Amino acid sequence: MADTKVVSEVTGSVWKVLVAVGDSVEADSPVVLIESMKMEIPVLAPDSGVVTEILVATGDPISEGQAVIALKT
């Protein structure tokens, strides 16, 4: 078991948070949608695990490399 911060690869803003604390997610499944330059870019879970923390809210500005959720993998 390890704690993993899931980061956005793109600068933009949070379009939608797709998971809640306690949810189990599969590797490569989308957890947050980022809107950047009018495109919706999914942030994918790098591993399967359980969501332990949501670090952003809808509408928040996001920088490249910023963590959006925490996962226990």
Interface contacts to other proteins, rule CB under 8 A:
9-13, 36-39, 41, 61
- How far apart are the C-alpha atoms of 61 and 10, rounded to whole Å? 11
Nearest residue to 11 (alpha-carbon basis) of 46, 35, 33: 35
Q: In angstroms, what is the minimal distance from the CB of 36 to other proteins?
A: 4
Question: Do the Cβ atoms of 3 and 72 come closer than 8 Å?
Answer: yes
Q: Which is nearer to other proteins, 3 or 13 (CB)?
A: 13
Q: In angstroms, what is the minimal distance from the CB of 10 to other proteins?
A: 6
Q: In angstroms, what is the minimal distance from the CB of 34 to other proteins?
A: 9
